[in-house]
Structure 1
Amino acid sequence: MYTKLKLPSIRIESVSDFIKYIVELRKDGSKPTAFRGQRYYGWPMQPKLFREDEGIFNSEDLAVRDIISIHPQEFEFDKSMFDKLVRMQHFGLPTRLVDVTTNPLVALWFATEPSPESENQHGGLQSLFIPRDRQRYYDSDRVSCMANLANLKVTQKNELFKAVALTKTIEEFNEQQAVKLLAFYVGFEKPNFLNIIKASDLVLPVYVKPKMSNKRIIAQSGAFMLFGSRGRLGKGREPNVKSERVWIHEDDKAEIRDHLQLLGIHESALFPEIDKTAKFISIRYGNERRDRNVDSLI
């Protein structure tokens, strides 16, 4: 399915532990740019679209057209493919985006999601140090090029990334039919686009600062990592994204979430839709909360 990561060396046992850790965290003198929390520390940071068990990558272009075709009113005011991918991501469609947040307490909440009853999936949280060269805003040309890869058929993407690996000049790369088609899609949202695409711009993932245009992004202090290819393909020489990882034992998750709730970090706040609020209230007053055995070990 995918390679599981090793258990990080630092364990977070409480909210106060985590705040102390984050306040002091630096790498090469810089503070983290963004954070990502996951129920299980062993999952790599990878878009759902790229996961073999999802099985949707070869039909990405059909999936994005289907959801817009069936619910066109939901995408009526989205001006770019990136905006559409953000909305699809929040509806649950696997995309080439990975959610991150600029609020470390929000990431901690996601890292303390309870595991299924049959598993002990200790949580994990990454602090990301993203170089300026790998950061973009929602209206960047590079973001448009990467997002519009979603419109290409899998054979066209394969042709394009083969050209990424083999072509030696920007002119040669832009003569490829798949690259011309990608430029055509970008031109739909950017009529003044110069139809010149750099091969290296499609390889390494970039951190994208989105428009704060929906309640969930605002509530979660949301941002995204946008992925182009599944590998480096010999191109993309920009600085690497560095990270620091910590883990949260399954038995500590419930208490950490209780304390986060006191700080205003809970499901109803992070997912402001009414169905999520109803679920939060039901759990608060019902019997659904499940405490794990403190003696359970990895």
Structure 2
Amino acid sequence: MSCKNCRYANSISEVLNEPMDLLNSKMSADGRQLPHLFLYRGQEKRYSNTKYLASLYRQKNKVEEYTLTSEYMRICNLNSLDNNFSRLSYMQHFGLPTRLLDVTSNILVALYFACLSSDDDGIIDVFLTNKEQPVGISKNQFCYYNSIDNDTVEILSTLALMSGDIKSNIYYRIHNFKKKVEKTFSSISNDSNDIEMIGKYYNFFYCLKRQYMISNQNISFERYINNPIFSYCGDKEFYKAFITVSDAYDELNYSEQVQSLYSSISKDIGYFPRVIDFLGLLHPFFVRPNINNPRINAQSGYFLFEPYEYTNYESTEDLSKINYDIEKRLVLKNLSITIPLCKKKSILKDLDIKCGINRATLFPDSENIAKYVSDDFLANY
């Protein structure tokens, strides 16, 4: 398959030279000053509108997420795992369709998967964990989390395992809350289309709301923010807007469905403060798993968590929108690497001989080791 402006690599050395462009480029870091982390995904052929989609969204016969996860956990006891993200990643690891997409921090592992058999060129896609994000409302635009003790990961992992009705209701309410925030804060902005300014208002609001809720104030939120130190709220219009958004937040936060979410989180990990940046739950991010699993360790594995409402994305057009959202937020599209079909076999052989990367090392279980050994002997005798 021909591709204009593709970066081709015909050998291991050429693939290893490609990241030099990444290391020499100037990429913006996120607000936590985390170092750049480049992640890769190798695929045996070029998929157009679904290349960044997790297996849950790529199902040909759409099966409800809760049906899959609940049945799996009924048959396979996962109570020994630490938390709901560990359970979700365990199910992904063993082939259940989930909202997690496998990526790796080792470009040679991605190269191996890009060279697996097909009738087309392979492709290595490049991701950046702290790529500069599109202007948005929530300050919670971070794209990389360690799975240990992270609120966003726990919230969305628990939500993923809940029933479809509850999940759909929560997503519906979050999107309505987002519209309310945009409408309310645009009314006090000099430019009603200035998303960045609207975002600043929302971020200040959420900071106050979280501080108020966690500190267990004995006064109303209205009285709490009626304080000279909160400069925005000295103006009547700002004050009125903050109260309007606060009421909308409370309606969402104290809804039966969100309270059910909090209960499920508490059952999973114990105490959890009942305050969420709901608008920070609507974008994809990477997670470093903490499962002590030989395959994940061998593959230098990470997951891309795709927190989109599954039930609302039935058509090809809708799936393309998810794919594009991931692309603009996380993918360095102009730095993808194409592996020519004619070079796949020789590269796989070199990966095995020179780098020790093969089926047995990447899938270190008895069945795959046996398959690797038998194929190796059949090829040489």
User: Is TM > 0.5 for Structure 1 vs Structure 2?
Assistant: yes
Amino acid at match of 1:147: S
Q: CA, structure 1 residues 108+154, in 2 after alignment: closer, same or farther (shift >3 Å)?
A: same
Which runs of no fewer than 5 residues in structure 1 stay unpaired? 1-5, 289-298
Shift of residue 21 of structure 1? 1.0
Q: Structure 1 residue 184 and structure 2 residue 259: aligned?
A: no
Structure 2 CA distance for aligned equivalents of residues 111 and 8 of structure 1: 19
Q: Structure 1 residue 110 and structure 2 residue 113: aligned?
A: yes
**SS class of match (1:207):** strand
Structure 2 CA distance for aligned equivalents of residues 54 and 112 of structure 1: 28
Q: Structure 1 residue 20 and structure 2 residue 17: aligned?
A: yes
Amino acid at match of 1:254: K
Structure 2 CA distance for aligned equivalents of residues 8 and 145 of structure 1: 40
8 Å Cα contact 1:163-1:176 kept in structure 2: no
8 Å Cα contact 1:131-1:240 kept in structure 2: no
Shift of residue 186 of structure 1? 1.3
Moved more, 169-178 or 147-156: 169-178
1:241 is aligned to 330
Shift of residue 29 of structure 1? 4.4
Moved more, 154-163 or 94-103: 154-163
Amino acid at match of 1:12: A
8 Å Cα contact 2:86-2:291 kept in structure 1: no
More helix by share: 2
2:378 is aligned to 286
Give the alignment partner of residue 53 of structure 2, picking from 33, 46, 65.
46
Give the alignment partner of residue 307 of structure 2, picking from 228, 238, 257.
228
Amino acid at match of 1:252: K
Shift of residue 177 of structure 1? 2.6
Q: With structure 1 as the length reference, what TM-score do the two structures score?
A: 0.83
2:75 is aligned to 70
Q: Structure 1 residue 151 and structure 2 residue 243: aligned?
A: no
Amino acid at match of 1:14: S
8 Å Cα contact 2:122-2:341 kept in structure 1: yes
8 Å Cα contact 1:37-1:110 kept in structure 2: yes
Structure 2 CA distance for aligned equivalents of residues 7 and 68 of structure 1: 46
Shift of residue 287 of structure 1? 4.8
8 Å Cα contact 2:104-2:302 kept in structure 1: yes
1:161 is aligned to 171
Shift of residue 201 of structure 1? 2.7
Shift of residue 212 of structure 1? 4.7
8 Å Cα contact 1:151-1:185 kept in structure 2: no
Structure 2 CA distance for aligned equivalents of residues 79 and 29 of structure 1: 34
**SS class of match (1:272):** coil
Structure 2 CA distance for aligned equivalents of residues 91 and 64 of structure 1: 12
1:134 is aligned to 143
**SS class of match (2:336):** strand
Shift of residue 15 of structure 1? 0.8
Structure 2 CA distance for aligned equivalents of residues 261 and 35 of structure 1: 19
Structure 1 CA distance for aligned equivalents of residues 266 and 45 of structure 2: 40
Structure whose alpha-carbon radius of gyration is higher: 2
Shift of residue 178 of structure 1? 2.4
**SS class of match (2:56):** helix
Structure 2 CA distance for aligned equivalents of residues 13 and 54 of structure 1: 37
1:11 is aligned to 8
Which runs of no fewer than 5 residues in structure 2 stay unpaired? 29-35, 132-141, 181-244, 310-317
Q: Structure 1 residue 219 and structure 2 residue 298: aligned?
A: yes
CA-atom RMSD in angstroms:
2.4
Shift of residue 187 of structure 1? 1.3
Moved more, 125-134 or 100-109: 125-134
Structure 2 CA distance for aligned equivalents of residues 174 and 185 of structure 1: 15
**SS class of match (1:225):** strand
Shift of residue 28 of structure 1? 2.3
2:204 is aligned to none
Structure 1 CA distance for aligned equivalents of residues 13 and 152 of structure 2: 39
Q: CA, structure 1 residues 51+273, in 2 after alignment: closer, same or farther (shift >3 Å)?
A: same
2:121 is aligned to 122
Q: Structure 1 residue 204 and structure 2 residue 214: aligned?
A: no
Amino acid at match of 1:111: A
**SS class of match (1:100):** strand
Structure 1 CA distance for aligned equivalents of residues 7 and 356 of structure 2: 25
**SS class of match (1:124):** strand
Structure 1 CA distance for aligned equivalents of residues 358 and 82 of structure 2: 31
1:291 is aligned to none
1:295 is aligned to none
- Equivalenced residue count is 271
Structure 2 CA distance for aligned equivalents of residues 8 and 99 of structure 1: 26
Structure 2 CA distance for aligned equivalents of residues 187 and 76 of structure 1: 15
